[in-house]
Chains A and B, each alone.
Chain A
Amino acid sequence: MYDFDFERPTTIQDAVEALKAEEAIAFSGGQTLMPTMKQRLAMPSKVVSLTAIDEMKGVRLDGTSLWIGGATTHATVKRELAESYPAMSSLAGRIGDPSVRSRGTIGGSVANNDPSACYPAGTLASKGVIVTDRREIPADEFFQGMFMTALEEGEIVTAVKMQVPERAHYAKFIQPASRFPLTAVYVAKFDDGVRVAVTGASEMGVFRWTEAEEALSSGFDAGAIDGLATPDGADMISDLHGSGDYRAHLVKVMTKRAVAAA
């Protein structure tokens, strides 16, 4: 690790101020950032921890409107949503291992937008809105490709809002080494339609599989997926663990499984 200054503000406002320093970086659970820094792949001048900001923590449910503080850990989400939104609780509970879940946060996950991360799929499918220190951004506009988001320099994800669907399930097929999704699909059924968000598969990061959404909106049944063409493997990630064609195939299989289990 290179040397850096460290700050741990207690309000969002102070954090925003602290992040104005050149080469300053937000630090939440550190589960992505810490390994990067240890490998000397990141060289921040200042690390601003978000872990002492109470207004960024917790899970609140108002009818079907869900608010999750940006600095809320996966373990907390898992616990708090076990009854009220089991699919999201299950997503959080399958991230990494207990130590990752005790530190890693939803804000860090969506801000990082790893093409294989779980929360971007869950958020996108759950009509998510990303709340920052300065605005609210619908998930459909927030996730802009591999590791790319709508966030501006120094902008902090303070919360993630979602709608709890009628039925939902997250079908995760893991990459054998990292145990991140090789391909995972989050299906959420609302009264006005179905959302299908896919992670791990596309070169463009998390995406909504619109053909599946249409098919499922007219009949929420796994069989509805059978008739669909498999997405084009040429647009999919191809690496050591699976070809683009394999991932495209998994998109279909995992969508069916998510629907069947929702």
Chain B
Amino acid sequence: MPKDGGIGTSPKRREDVRFLSGTGRYTDDINLHGQAYAVFVRSDVAHGRLNGIDTEAAADMPGVIRIFTARDFEGCGGVPCGWQITSRDGNVMQEPKHPILAEGKVRHVGDPIAVVVAETLAQARDAAEAVMPDIEDLPAIVDMKAALADDAPKVHDELSSNLCYDWGFVEENREAVDRAIKEAAHVTTLELVNNRMIANPMEPRVAVGDYAAHSDESTLYTTSQNPHVIRLLMGAFVLNIPEHKLRVVAPDVGGGFGTKIFHYAEEAFCTFAAKQLRRPVKWTSTRSEAFMSDAHGRDHVTKIELALDEDNNFTALRTDTHANMGAYLSTFAPSVPTWLHGTLMAGNYKTPLVYVNVKAVFTNTVPVDAYRGAGRPEATYQLERIVDKAARELGVDPIALRRQNFITEFPYQTPVAVQYDTGDYHATMDKLLDIADHAGFEARAEESRKKGKLRGFGISHYIEACGIAPSNLVGQLGARAGLYESATVRVNATGSISVMTGSHSHGQGHETTFAQVIAEMIGIDADQVDIVHGDTARTPMGMGTYGSRSIAVGGSAMVRAAEKVINKAKKIAAHLMEASEGDIELKDGQFTVAGTDKSVAWGDVTLAAYVPHNYPLEEIEPGLEETAFYDPANFTYPSGGYGCEVEVDSETGLVEVVGFAAADDFGNVINPMIVEGQVHGGLAQGIGQALWENCAYDADGQLLSASYMDYAMPRSTDLPMFKVDHSCVTPCTHNPLGVKGCGEAGAIGSPPAVVNAVLDALNRGGIAVDHIDMPLSPARVWAAMQGAGANLGAAQPAARSEDTAGGRSVGTP
């Protein structure tokens, strides 16, 4: 094995050379000959009847090529939804049409109404301002519980109500859970908001459509995490273009975080318009547009109840969640609060009975879909908050309470369908307490006290499900897609290798890590291996990257393809060395015959494959190229313990994160440096959600946090040096690399650790506060310290409930 290139080593990321030197090729760097520019006219009201659109003046303006409205899309489908959920009553979810351009009504601020295509961007902008939609304002609905009232204005007139679905899981457990809660020695209850997030990738979305009349082929260049999925959805459901006539390219992509998974109207528009106009059409999102058109994340309101027996064993868990879908169903939106959330509600604990109810609700807000972690952060947040609250109520140590209820035997069948294959939660907890120097906390708290600050330590222990997942299972659960992954390993004549993967890198570093795996398997230098991704014309049909699935599913497909290549190469080597195939070994790029000193180099074998002069042509074909499709047997289950240490300024409510430690079990690790980087990024986003980030609407559905003046992003100076460890390893049992995935863990495990830490600080300081909704801004922490109700300050269209959240205001601090 090459010393600094194989599995477990940390070579620098090869892609960073181009990213850091300005030579990356992002979608916005693509400019095609004769390209025209598209500018979208968007709704500035949350809800209104679209009585007409006056395009006359705009059409006469300089450079305008054509103005498109909904009428132009009459023969096309709407933006499809890729997952169907079935309600408790057996009915399938309500699924409204999501038109490319608004038909009859506008349903959120940012809803596209018309598009101006012009010779230059400035001309398109000028003309877009002259397009005059005639909109009759309708009352907007942003609060989820209000949206479910009988007399609520309907987001979609053709639906029976604003309820998308009412999902129960596991429905058969419902009565037993109710009974267990009634009979419990103690029940802890908490109502909490998982605040709405805007992903804010550094690169905004871009789409360039192109059409080649000579071959009748359409090409879309787009900022996507999964070009094959876009090709399938857009080709088959929206534009009726067969796949062999449609190519989707997602070149360098500057961050996705989920929001670039989905198929968006702008992609379909550019592809469609390019064919109509017979010239390339480009759209580049402005940052302001991104705030109101990129799918948002999270936005759940949950009431959770945890039942314990007299010995503090968890006996049952019940949740009641309202999940905001926004105005339309984004591609995977229905799956996030259900299968990606309900199945995780056992957490690390052996709670025997769990029941999850989720009501998905339409509101006049931007569609909500997967955002780093998708469903699992929401599950983890509820669990790790309620366990902490239970510990406080019972006067027991929150760490001990967790340990007492940890699952310790694997495989473990949870009461929420999934089966964990491996894990060792005590090990990650031990590791966490060690690296966080938990033992030294009291001394540090004393130091803080001397400075007049309140110090707190908060813990969270998460489980997540990655590597989504067996296709037959997700099919049963309502997915309208398979979730395998693919790879082609193409060995060139002189021995270098191109791997075409269906996974897509938008910052993760696949070009480095995937090459490390191949280098390890064959024993050649990683620089002999190139990873090709992001182009449907160059890669086999694959499902792309999200849900920390790349190495676990995509990497496994690559390993399978490489194994086929190696098996064939061994046959060739056996022929060259006149030995029997079973005796051939491959190590360090050399084929040897066991028990002899015969050897032949990798390059000689690959050359023989393409120059088959001395070759077993009667037994095997020439060439050395194999494809594999890998469909996993199960999800993978990374887990870990996170510890956050904060100082709270009791005069201002300002929270400073002074320490953060993460002990993760990711199974085997390919490149520790990259894994550490993934955890760092996830932590920044999770801490960002807990303390700063918040997408807020006012009661009329106006987006209040519509720019960086009001949407607070985490910055490096806000964060401490992280202590990150992944030495606890329980390899995944069902994929060839024993890997679990690491992309989302940081964002999943950190928010409850931060909130728990702040509450710990306050309570240690003698200020009894049992909950504050995220983000824990100084204003909210201060308000809570003054005795304001738990939920005061959720500047969030949120479910209200009489008992705990009465004081919640919409749109005020």
Contact = CB atoms under 8 A, between A and B. Distances in A.
Contacts of A243: 779, 783, 812-813
B710 interface: yes
Given A243-B779, A249-B782, A253-B652, A176 B692 contact: yes
A39 B710 contact: no
B813 A177 contact: no
A241 interface: yes
A241 B651 CA distance: 16
B288 interface: yes
Contacts of A177: 692, 705, 708-713
A253 B651 CA distance: 7
B442 interface: no
Contacts of B125: 40
Interface in B756-813: 777-779, 782-783, 795, 811-813
Interface in A157-195: 173, 176-178, 182
Interface string B570-591: 0000000000000000000000
Interface string B621-635: 000000000000000
A238 interface: yes
A26 interface: no
A47 B783 CA distance: 45
Contacts of B778: 173, 176, 182, 242, 246
Nearest to B653: A246
Given A240-B696, A253-B651, A246 B710 contact: no
A83 interface: no
Contact of B129 (A40, A178, A239, A249): A40
Interface residues of A, number: 17
A19 interface: no
B1 interface: no
A250 B654 CA distance: 11
Q: Is the interface of B mostly helix, strand, loop or mixed?
A: loop
B651 A240 contact: no
A239 B812 CA distance: 6
Nearest to A257: B651
Contacts of B696: 240
Interface in A103-155: none
Interface centre among B654, B811, B812 (most CB of A within 10 A): B812
B712 A242 contact: no
B130 interface: no
A185 B691 CA distance: 24
Given A39-B288, A176-B777, A241 B813 contact: yes
Given A178-B709, A246-B782, A238 B651 contact: no
Given A173-B652, A177-B711, A238-B813, A246 B692 contact: no
B712 A246 contact: no
Given A40-B129, A250-B652, A240 B704 contact: yes
Contacts of A176: 691-692, 712, 777-778
A258 to B, nearest CB: 13
A37 B327 CA distance: 31
B813 A240 contact: yes
A239 B652 CA distance: 17
A39 B652 CA distance: 34
Interface residues of B, number: 27
A165 B553 CA distance: 67
A238 B709 contact: no
Nearest to A180: B709
A241 B652 contact: no
Nearest to B809: A243
Given A240-B705, A240-B795, A253-B651, A246 B783 contact: yes
A177 B129 CA distance: 29
B701 to A, nearest CB: 15
Contacts of B694: 240
Contacts of A250: 652
B42 to A, nearest CB: 14
Given A40-B129, A249-B782, A253-B651, A241 B709 contact: no
Contact of B813 (A39, A40, A242, A249): A242
Given A177-B708, A240-B696, A241-B813, A246 B779 contact: yes
A173 B696 CA distance: 22
Given A241-B777, A242-B779, A178 B812 contact: no
Contacts of A241: 710, 777, 779, 813
B708 A239 contact: no
A261 to B, nearest CB: 14
Given A39-B288, A178-B709, A253-B651, A238 B782 contact: no
Interface centre among A176, A238, A242 (most CB of B within 10 A): A176
Contacts of A253: 651-652
Interface string B134-157: 000000000000000000000000
Interface in B667-703: 691-692, 694, 696
A246 B704 CA distance: 19
A246 B813 contact: yes
B780 to A, nearest CB: 9
Contacts of A239: 812-813
Nearest to A244: B813
A181 B810 CA distance: 24
Contacts of B795: 240
B288 A238 contact: no
A253 B783 CA distance: 15
Nearest to B714: A176
Contacts of A173: 652, 654, 778
Contacts of A246: 778-779, 782-783, 813
A36 to B, nearest CB: 12
Contacts of B709: 177-178
A251 B783 CA distance: 16
A249 B654 CA distance: 13
Contacts of B692: 176-177
A220 B779 CA distance: 29
A40 B121 CA distance: 14
A42 to B, nearest CB: 14
B710 A178 contact: yes
A243 to B, nearest CB: 5
Interface in A213-259: 238-243, 246, 249-250, 253
Given A243-B813, A246-B779, A246-B813, A178 B651 contact: no
A40 B691 CA distance: 32
A196 B511 CA distance: 58
A241 B654 CA distance: 12
A7 B783 CA distance: 50
Contacts of B711: 177
Nearest to B813: A243
Contacts of B651: 253
B270 to A, nearest CB: 23
Interface string A29-54: 00000000001100000000000000
Nearest to B705: A240
B157 to A, nearest CB: 32
A246 B652 CA distance: 9
A240 B811 CA distance: 7
Nearest to B698: A240
Contacts of B777: 176, 241-242
A242 B779 CA distance: 5
Given A176-B692, A243-B812, 13 more contacts: A173-B652, A177-B712, A182-B778, A238-B813, A239-B812, A240-B694, A240-B704, A240-B812, A240-B813, A241-B813, A246-B782, A253-B651, A253-B652
29 contacts: A39-B288, A40-B129, A173-B654, A173-B778, A176-B778, A177-B709, A177-B711, A177-B712, A177-B713, A238-B812, A238-B813, A239-B812, A239-B813, A240-B696, A240-B704, A240-B705, A240-B812, A240-B813, A241-B777, A241-B779, A241-B813, A242-B779, A243-B779, A243-B783, A243-B813, A246-B779, A246-B782, A246-B813, A249-B782
Across chains A and B, which 9 residue pairs bring their CB atoms closest together, nearest first? A177-B712, A242-B779, A176-B712, A178-B709, A246-B779, A253-B651, A243-B813, A176-B692, A177-B710
